[in-house]
Structure 1
Amino acid sequence: MEKHLIFMDIDGTLVAKDQKISNKTRSVVTELQQAGHQFYVATGRKYSSAVDVAKRLTAQTQVIASNGSIYSIDEMLHKKRLSDKALQFIYQTITAHDLPMFFFGEHTIFYTQQLPSYLQKNDQSRIGSSEEDFRFIDSLETLMAVSQRIVNGIVIADEREAELEQVRKILEESGLLSVSSSHPNNIELIPLGVNKATAIQAVRNSLAVPQKNIISFGDGLNDLEMLQASGVSVAMGNAVDELKRHAKFITDTNVEDGIANFLIDYFS
């Protein structure tokens, strides 16, 4: 069978809330890699967190991180970052609405306001791995002093979806960055013209794999472009309805081995 490239979102797709990868999924991916197919995780997470998950899946799994801002091809790392103008505009806009911001480097999270307890404890494996991974941003000057280290960011605010939608429109109309969302409670802040699909395009062009042999799995709206760029687009059973409407296939949920079950059927 011709070589395929398979891209998998992490949260809500490859893993559940406990951050574990099932033995069934690991076994299926390993078998397909041995047959010559190549796998990537494709996530909004920072690079070091994405690498951790990829290596827990298999040693050969590659990475697209920060919603396409960082990706690897044959062990070479490619990176784009939010511009200084974008960072200034984001900070001023979000601060005016008193919303919390998180900016991601390859290894560090820069945050404003108070770090939520779910990032410090229960969900720390989702974004960070130790206290040293976090750095507080108390002003625009502090942010700009580390601007060269910042790749992308996110705004997270539960129960303020209406206000988030207003802010998202302001950010979109600025023309300084790309925005997306993996959940109604957030706005993903991404370098202009970048998304998971642009990274996939770069990877498949470099590896000379036709679009019909691109398989992607996702569950959130920040996976939409990725699915649209793939010959075989698969929404998880737990995916948001809009993503399901754009996918060619719907598989089982992330806790029901949806990725493994689809791949077994597809390659059998």
Structure 2
Amino acid sequence: MDKHLIFMDIDGTLVTKDQQISARTKLVVSELQQAGHQFYVATGRKYSSASEIAKRLNEQTQVIASNGSVYSINETLHKNRLSDEALQFVYQTMTEHRLPMFFFGEHTIFYTQQLPSYLQKNDQSRIGNTEEDFLFIDSLETLMAVSPRIINGIIIADDREAELEIVRKFLEESQLLSVSSSHPNNIELIPLGVNKATAIQAVRKNLAVPQKNIISFGDGLNDLEMLQASGVSVAMGNAVDELKRHAKFITKTNVEDGIAKFLLDYFY
């Protein structure tokens, strides 16, 4: 079969809640890589966290991180970042609404307000890592001093979905950045014009793989553009309903080896 490019979201797709990849999935991915197909993780996580998950599959698995802002092609790392204007607007808007902010570099999380407990548990969550990778932002001046290191960000506010919808409109209308969501409790802050699909298109063109040979797996709304850019779009059984409506196929859940099951049916 012709060479395929396969892109897999991480949380809710490739891994379980305890950050595990099943042995069956590892085996299927390895066999298909040996047959000449190429695999990427494609995630909203920062690059270092995404790379760690990719390595749990094997060293051949490549990375799209920060919702398409960072991606690798043939050992070369390509980056986009939030503009200074976007960072200033986000900081001023979220401060006015007293919403917590997290900004991500390749390895560092910059945060305002109190650091949530789930970020202090050594990568127990989708955006955590180790304590020394956290830097507190206490003012706009502090934020701008580290702005060259910031790639993307996220606003997380449990039980404040209505307020998030209000600030989301402000962010969209600013035309300074792109926004998405992986869950109703967050707004993902992405460089303008960037998403997982733009990274996929760059990888696809560089490797000369036709769109019909692109397979993508996802579960959240931040996977929508990725699925739309793929010839074979697959929603996990645990995906949000809107993503399922846009996918060509629906597989089993992330805890039922959904990726492995679909790949076995598709290739064998």
Name the TM-score class by shorter chain: over 0.9
Secondary structure in 2 matching 1:71: strand
1:169-248 equivalences in 2 (<5 Å): 169-248=169-248
Amino acid at match of 2:250: I
Amino acid of the structure 1 residue aligned with 2:144: M
- Could you tell me how far 1:119 is from its partner in structure 2? 1.1
| SS in structure 1 at match of 2:255 | helix
8 Å contact from structure 2 (residues 5, 37) kept in 1: yes
Distance verdict in 2 for CA 1:181–1:265, change over 3 Å:
same
SS at match of 2:189: strand
Offset from partner CA, 1:111-151 (integer Å, 9 cap, x none): 00000011112754532321111000000000000000000
Residue in structure 2 matched with residue 158 of structure 1 by the alignment: 158
Is the Cα contact below 8 Å between 2:86 and 2:176 reproduced in 1?
A: yes
Corresponding position of 1:261: 261
User: For the residues of structure 1 that align with 2:26 and 2:99, how far apart are their CA atoms?
Assistant: 39
Query: Is there any run of 5+ residues in structure 2 with no aligned partner, and where?
Result: none
Q: TM-score of the superposition, structure 1-length normalised?
A: 0.99
Range with greater deviation from structure 2 (23-32 or 121-130)? 121-130
1:36-92 Cα offsets, whole Å, 9 max, x none, are 000000000000000000001111000000000000000000000000000000000
Separation in 2, partners of 1:122, 1:214 = 33
In structure 2, distance between residues paired with 1:152 and 1:114: 19
Partners of 2:81 and 2:191 within 8 A in 1: yes
1:4 aligns to 2:4 (yes or no) = yes
For residues 163-200 of structure 1, what are the alpha-carbon distances to aligned partners after superposition, in whole Å with 9 as ceiling and x for unaligned?
A: 00000000000000000000000000000000000000
Distance 1:130 1:244 in 2: 34
Write out aligned runs for 1:45-60 (5 A). 45-60=45-60
Unaligned runs of 5+ in 1: none
Secondary structure at 2:29 match in 1? helix
Question: Take 1:171 and 1:101, find their aligned partners in 2: how far apart are those partners?
Answer: 14
Distance 1:165 1:110 in 2: 23
Q: Which residue of 1 aligns with 2:98?
A: 98
Q: Paired residue for 1:22?
A: 22
SS of corresponding position for 2:126: helix
Task: Report the AA paired with residue 161 of structure 2.
Answer: E
Q: Report what 1:109 is aligned to.
A: 109
2:61 is matched with: 61
For residues 252 and 124 of structure 1, the distance between their equivalents in structure 2, rounded to whole angstroms, comes to 24
- Corresponding residue for 1:118? 118
C-alpha separation in 2, matches of 1:26 and 1:175: 41
Identity over aligned pairs, percent: 86
Q: TM-score, normalised by structure 2?
A: 0.99
